[in-house]
Amino acid sequence: MSSLPRIPRTPRTPRSPLAVRALTLGLAAVLAIMFGASGIAAGNGPQIGRPAPDFTATDSKGSSVSLSQYRGKTVVLEWTNADCPYTRKHYTSGNMQSLQALAQKNGVVWLTVISSAPGKQGYVNGPAADGLTQSRGAVPTAVLMDPSGTLGRLYGAKTTPHMFVIDKNGALQYMGGIDSIATADVSDIPNAEPYLKEAMLAVTQGSPVAHAVTRPYGCSVKY
């Protein structure tokens, strides 16, 4: 059987640098449209240096609390779950309470947020939340109840703990982990860089935050 005749290949014309640049820019434009439409490039979540998302929530005592009512003060948001070993690390060691006391000393508002849904790990009602505050010797300004997860999702809270610092003008200046060592081991606390403490003190002093965004670690928020 005779073989099929070979068809000669047409030599490829090399693209000019201008053509390559045009192709790259065109692809970038398409990606920008795609991701912008989905909100990824647009950055719909909280952003450093931008106004922190305002909210109104009910605290553990049944009172209404709004972020806007604390304008003029530095505000810390702490997502918590009493059954999470990472949360327990910072409460059994007294680390979280010492940070809350430091906040109180510096006129900082500390709002602890519970976003666990009913039936999920960490869910408690108001009286139980107050019992935890008392038994642990915690001193937050208020504990906010968020069983619907509305506030947690507004801030993109991912873990317990997940920390945010808002300045007196209402702008977000820090979001991320409480410190730099992502374990549930109490012995790691003294060796960790205290991201939240550094950010909180910098914001109260009107200084730049050295690490404005860090990786949060802990249990996933149980929405």
| pLDDT tens digits along 152-193 | 999 999 999 999 999 999 999 999 999 999 999 999 999 999
| Strand locations in the chain (E) | 56-59, 64-66, 75-79, 109-114, 142-145, 159-160, 162-166, 172-176, 219-220
pLDDT at 10 over 50: no
pLDDT at residue 177 in the model: 98
Residue 103 has phi, psi (to 5 degrees) of -60, -45
> What's the confidence (pLDDT) of residue 188?
98
Rounded Cα–Cα distance for residues 152 and 154 (Å): 5
**Predicted structure pTM score:** 0.81
* Mean pLDDT of the region 84-110: 98
Domain spans, the chain: 17-45, 56-220
Looking only at the bridges linking them, the beta strands covering 172-176 and 162-166 are antiparallel
pLDDT in tens, 113-151: 999 999 999 999 999 999 999 999 999 999 999 999 999
pLDDT (0 to 100) of residue 35: 32
pLDDT band at residue 9 under the 50/70/90 scheme: low
Under CATH, which architecture does the 56-220 domain have? 3-Layer(aba) Sandwich (3.40)
Q: How many CA atoms lie within 13 A of 100 on its CB side?
A: 20
